[in-house]
Protein backbone atom coordinates (compact mmCIF):
# COMPACT_ATOMS: atom_id res chain seq x y z
CA UNK A 1 0.00 0.00 0.00
CA UNK A 2 2.94 2.35 0.13
CA UNK A 3 4.80 3.90 -2.75
CA UNK A 4 8.21 5.37 -2.14
CA UNK A 5 9.31 8.19 -4.36
CA UNK A 6 12.58 9.77 -3.36
CA UNK A 7 12.12 10.95 0.22
CA UNK A 8 8.35 10.98 -0.12
CA UNK A 9 5.96 8.23 0.69
CA UNK A 10 2.30 8.03 -0.16
CA UNK A 11 0.07 5.77 1.88
CA UNK A 12 -3.45 5.06 3.02
CA UNK A 13 -3.89 5.48 6.74
CA UNK A 14 -6.29 6.18 9.56
CA UNK A 15 -5.84 8.76 12.28
CA UNK A 16 -5.43 6.95 15.58
CA UNK A 17 -4.90 9.85 17.96
CA UNK A 18 -4.35 13.59 17.81
CA UNK A 19 -2.11 15.41 20.29
CA UNK A 20 -4.26 18.39 21.23
CA UNK A 21 -1.76 20.19 23.45
CA UNK A 22 -1.39 23.93 22.77
CA UNK A 23 -4.76 24.04 20.98
CA UNK A 24 -3.13 22.47 17.90
CA UNK A 25 -1.33 25.68 17.04
CA UNK A 26 1.56 27.98 17.88
CA UNK A 27 2.17 31.71 17.72
CA UNK A 28 4.28 33.29 15.03
CA UNK A 29 5.23 36.75 13.87
CA UNK A 30 2.72 37.76 11.21
CA UNK A 31 5.53 39.18 9.07
CA UNK A 32 8.33 36.61 9.11
CA UNK A 33 6.45 33.62 10.61
CA UNK A 34 9.18 32.89 13.15
CA UNK A 35 7.64 31.19 16.16
CA UNK A 36 7.15 33.34 19.25
CA UNK A 37 6.78 32.49 22.91
CA UNK A 38 3.29 32.95 24.30
CA UNK A 39 4.51 35.77 26.47
CA UNK A 40 6.00 37.95 23.72
CA UNK A 41 3.76 40.18 21.68
CA UNK A 42 6.31 41.44 19.16
CA UNK A 43 8.90 39.81 16.99
CA UNK A 44 12.35 41.02 17.91
CA UNK A 45 13.67 40.33 14.41
CA UNK A 46 11.07 42.41 12.61
CA UNK A 47 10.91 45.13 15.22
CA UNK A 48 14.66 45.61 15.00
CA UNK A 49 14.50 46.15 11.28
CA UNK A 50 11.30 48.13 10.97
CA UNK A 51 11.29 51.93 11.16
CA UNK A 52 8.37 51.81 13.57
CA UNK A 53 8.96 49.24 16.30
CA UNK A 54 5.87 47.40 17.38
CA UNK A 55 4.48 47.22 13.85
CA UNK A 56 4.75 43.46 13.63
CA UNK A 57 1.76 41.56 14.92
CA UNK A 58 1.29 37.94 15.75
CA UNK A 59 -0.87 35.22 14.33
CA UNK A 60 -1.23 31.51 14.83
CA UNK A 61 -0.40 28.59 12.60
CA UNK A 62 -1.43 25.00 13.02
CA UNK A 63 1.10 22.39 14.05
CA UNK A 64 -0.58 19.10 14.79
CA UNK A 65 1.13 15.94 15.98
CA UNK A 66 -0.89 12.83 15.34
CA UNK A 67 -0.53 9.08 15.34
CA UNK A 68 -1.57 7.38 12.15
CA UNK A 69 -1.94 3.72 11.33
CA UNK A 70 -1.06 2.31 7.93
CA UNK A 71 -1.67 -1.33 7.04
CA UNK A 72 1.66 -2.27 8.65
CA UNK A 73 2.50 0.16 11.43
CA UNK A 74 1.47 3.00 13.70
CA UNK A 75 3.64 6.10 13.84
CA UNK A 76 3.65 9.78 14.67
CA UNK A 77 3.57 12.46 11.99
CA UNK A 78 3.38 16.23 12.10
CA UNK A 79 1.03 18.42 10.06
CA UNK A 80 1.76 22.05 9.48
CA UNK A 81 -0.66 24.82 8.63
CA UNK A 82 -1.58 24.15 5.00
CA UNK A 83 -2.31 20.46 5.53
CA UNK A 84 -3.93 20.96 8.93
CA UNK A 85 -6.46 23.35 7.41
CA UNK A 86 -7.81 20.48 5.31
CA UNK A 87 -8.46 18.53 8.51
CA UNK A 88 -9.73 21.38 10.66
CA UNK A 89 -11.45 23.53 8.03
CA UNK A 90 -10.50 27.02 9.21
CA UNK A 91 -7.44 29.09 10.02
CA UNK A 92 -5.49 28.55 13.22
CA UNK A 93 -6.54 32.00 14.43
CA UNK A 94 -10.21 31.16 13.96
CA UNK A 95 -9.71 27.86 15.68
CA UNK A 96 -7.90 29.51 18.57
CA UNK A 97 -10.72 32.02 19.03
CA UNK A 98 -13.24 29.19 18.90
CA UNK A 99 -11.31 27.24 21.53
CA UNK A 100 -11.24 30.26 23.84
CA UNK A 101 -15.03 29.98 24.01
CA UNK A 102 -14.99 26.19 24.02
CA UNK A 103 -11.96 25.03 26.02
CA UNK A 104 -12.27 21.41 24.93
CA UNK A 105 -12.49 22.20 21.22
CA UNK A 106 -9.00 20.90 20.45
CA UNK A 107 -9.62 17.60 22.24
CA UNK A 108 -13.00 17.27 20.56
CA UNK A 109 -11.48 18.01 17.15
CA UNK A 110 -9.06 15.16 17.82
CA UNK A 111 -11.94 12.83 18.68
CA UNK A 112 -13.85 13.86 15.56
CA UNK A 113 -10.84 13.09 13.34
CA UNK A 114 -10.02 9.78 15.01
CA UNK A 115 -10.67 6.84 12.74
CA UNK A 116 -10.95 8.93 9.56
CA UNK A 117 -9.14 7.43 6.58
CA UNK A 118 -6.83 9.47 4.39
CA UNK A 119 -4.36 9.16 1.61
CA UNK A 120 -1.35 11.02 2.96
CA UNK A 121 1.92 11.93 1.38
CA UNK A 122 4.70 11.98 3.95
CA UNK A 123 8.10 13.54 3.61
CA UNK A 124 11.21 12.70 5.55
CA UNK A 125 12.54 15.71 7.46
CA UNK A 126 15.57 17.17 5.70
CA UNK A 127 16.66 18.85 8.86
CA UNK A 128 18.25 16.39 11.27
CA UNK A 129 16.58 17.94 14.32
CA UNK A 130 13.06 17.18 13.15
CA UNK A 131 11.99 13.89 14.62
CA UNK A 132 8.75 13.18 12.82
CA UNK A 133 7.69 12.51 9.27
CA UNK A 134 5.90 15.51 7.91
CA UNK A 135 2.56 15.32 6.14
CA UNK A 136 2.80 17.21 2.84
CA UNK A 137 -0.63 16.37 1.48
CA UNK A 138 -3.78 14.80 2.79
CA UNK A 139 -6.83 13.60 0.90
CA UNK A 140 -9.86 12.34 2.83
CA UNK A 141 -10.99 8.92 1.59
CA UNK A 142 -14.50 9.00 2.98
CA UNK A 143 -16.87 10.83 0.65
CA UNK A 144 -18.80 12.29 3.58
CA UNK A 145 -15.70 13.68 5.30
CA UNK A 146 -16.23 17.05 6.93
CA UNK A 147 -13.51 19.24 8.41
CA UNK A 148 -13.54 19.11 12.22
CA UNK A 149 -14.69 22.69 12.73
CA UNK A 150 -18.04 21.93 11.05
CA UNK A 151 -18.75 19.13 13.49
CA UNK A 152 -17.55 21.27 16.38
CA UNK A 153 -19.82 24.18 15.46
CA UNK A 154 -22.71 21.76 15.27
CA UNK A 155 -21.84 20.10 18.56
CA UNK A 156 -21.34 23.28 20.53
CA UNK A 157 -24.11 25.11 18.69
CA UNK A 158 -26.60 22.48 19.82
CA UNK A 159 -25.38 22.77 23.37
CA UNK A 160 -25.65 26.56 23.38
CA UNK A 161 -29.21 26.68 22.05
CA UNK A 162 -30.58 23.91 24.29
Q: In whole angstroms, what is the distance from residue 31 CA to residue 92 CA?
A: 16
**CB-based burial label for 70 (10 Å; 0-12, 13-18, 19+):** middle
Q: Looking at 43, 92, 133, 138, which residue binds Zn ion (CB under 5 A)?
A: 43
The three-state secondary structure class of 95 is helix
Q: In whole angstroms, what is the distance from residue 95 CA to residue 86 CA?
A: 13
Q: Looking at 12, 14, 16, 31, which residue binds Zn ion (CB under 5 A)?
A: 31
Q: Looking at 36, 46, 78, 149, which residue binds Zn ion (CB under 5 A)?
A: 46
Q: Rule CB under 5 A: is residue 88 a binding residue for Zn ion?
A: no
Q: Rule CB under 5 A: is residue 32 a binding residue for Zn ion?
A: yes
Q: Rule CB under 5 A: is residue 50 a binding residue for Zn ion?
A: no
Nearest by Cα to 118 from 155, 159, 147: 147
**Residue 32 or 74: which CB sits closer to Zn ion?**
32
Judged by CB under 5 A, the stretch of 29-37, 70-78, 89-97, 144-152 that binds Zn ion is 29-37
Interface residues with Zn ion (CB under 5 A) are 29, 31-32, 43, 45-46
Amino acid sequence: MTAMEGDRESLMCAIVAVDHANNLCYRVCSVCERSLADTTSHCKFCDHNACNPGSSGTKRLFRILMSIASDTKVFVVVCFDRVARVLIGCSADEFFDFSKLHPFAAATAGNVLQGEMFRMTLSRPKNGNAQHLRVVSVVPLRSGFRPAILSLRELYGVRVSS
